[in-house]
Amino acid sequence: MHPAFSIIFFTSAAGAGYGLLALLGLLAPFGLLPASPLFGVAALVLALGLVVAGLLSSLAHLGRPERAWRALSQWRSSWLSREGVAAVATFLPAGVFAIAWIVLTAGSGGGGSGVAGVAGWITAAMAAVTVYCTAMIYASLKPIRQWANPWVPRSYLALSLMTGALLLNALLGVAGQAVGWSSLLALASVGLGWAAKEGHWRHCATARPVSTAETATGLGHNGLGHIGRVRLLDAPHSEDNYLLKEMGFRVGRRHAVRLRFITRLAAFALPAALSLGALAAGPGALSGTLALLAAAAAALGVIAERWLFFAEAKHTVTLFYGAGEA
């Protein structure tokens, strides 16, 4: 599939924003975050800012952005519509949580008022639901075997949690409020995200092709048995058409291997090492710098991972243009 930067940015930025928002909603009511209203404002602005930037990027991907509202009406059958409904619905509890946390509880020593606790947990649940709906847009597409598997929602949720935890650790470090548990949370989330992504890659490499040129054309067998291998004699078109441009994108194996190495290094290995360094350094400028570098490295790594997610996907329509399997 053709990797569109608008969608890559949307899934990466919004995923990180929802991950951070979910962690704020879960942790703030228990008084685990700084009681400073300034920290609460900064954290929520970053989380919601990433979400809004991602959503605006997704609108830019549409041919007629002004008609995007119509997609919300198809929530009964469309994961894209469900994602839109969930994204919009998340802002309501997030707004209530922001007011309850910053105004009612942050200034009085943190902790959880009843309103902040309930609104925070609902916000966290809605953030997870929205990320899940985003993943299911792709996991529900049966013609693409690299997407139609349980590892896609697992990796989307795990990477959202990972980038959110790294951002939270960076915010605490920059604010001079670094604590050991936030670095440990970042480390654990990196391990979870790495395991989920490796599982997805392993599944794509080992799963048998769902369709081949023989099954797609029905020419692989006749009543007496197997006829032979089907091969393309002549191209259907004299030049590339829309299907080939959007669904026949090819990435060289050498580039794929290199980008997977970059993903492993930037998204997982470096953030893990830097978070471990932040944990060892303790509260201070060094800890904050290391945590900030970890979040930045993960952001670049997730963009590379998301580019590969699209580039390595093979649509079954390519079977009619010479691909042997999909």
Question: pLDDT digits over 278-295, tens only?
Answer: 999 888 889 999 999 999
Q: What CATH number should be reported for the domain holding residue 176?
A: 1.20.1630.10
Check pLDDT > 60 for residue 180.
Answer: yes
Of 63-67, 123-127, 207-211, give the range with the top mean pLDDT. 123-127
According to the model, what pLDDT value does residue 326 have?
62
Mean pLDDT computed over every residue of the chain: 86
The boundaries of the domain holding residue 300 are 5-229+239-321
According to the model, what pLDDT value does residue 111 have?
47
Whether residue 224 lies inside any domain: the answer is yes
User: Looking at residues 60-68, what average pLDDT do you find?
Assistant: 71
Whether residue 326 lies inside any domain: the answer is no
Higher pLDDT, 62 or 296: 296
pLDDT tens, position by position, 226-262: 667 777 777 666 666 666 666 666 665 667 888 899 9
Whether residue 314 lies inside any domain: the answer is yes
Question: How far is C-alpha 46 from the chain's CA centre?
Answer: 17
Check pLDDT > 80 for residue 222.
Answer: no
Check pLDDT > 90 for residue 311.
Answer: no
Whether residue 44 lies inside any domain: the answer is yes
pTM of the model: 0.88
Instruction: Write b or e for each residue in 37-51: b if 16 or more Cβ atoms lie within 10 A of its Cβ, otherwise e.
Output: eebbeebbebbbebb
User: Looking at residues 121-132, what average pLDDT do you find?
Assistant: 97
Ranges 70-79, 134-143, 272-281: which has the least confidence: 70-79
Check pLDDT > 50 for residue 88.
Answer: yes
Whether residue 183 lies inside any domain: the answer is yes
Whether residue 234 lies inside any domain: the answer is no
According to the model, what pLDDT value does residue 197 have?
97
Q: Which helix (H) or strand (E) holds 44?
A: helix 37-60
Radius of gyration of the chain (CA): 22
Counted domains in the chain: 1
Question: Inter-axis angle of helices 5-27 and 151-174, to 10 degrees?
Answer: 60
**Please, which contacts does 269-272 make with residues 24 or more away whose CB atoms are closer than 8 Å?**
270/294, 270/297, 270/298, 270/301, 271/162, 271/166, 271/186, 271/190, 271/295, 271/297, 271/298, 271/301, 272/187, 272/190, 272/191, 272/194
According to the model, what pLDDT value does residue 93 have?
96
Contact between residue 289 and residue 175 where contact means Cβ atoms under 8 Å apart: no
19 vs 15: CA distance, rounded Å: 6
According to the model, what pLDDT value does residue 25 have?
95
Check pLDDT > 90 for residue 208.
Answer: no
Higher pLDDT, 62 or 143: 143
Whether residue 106 lies inside any domain: the answer is yes
Whether residue 17 lies inside any domain: the answer is yes
According to the model, what pLDDT value does residue 98 have?
93
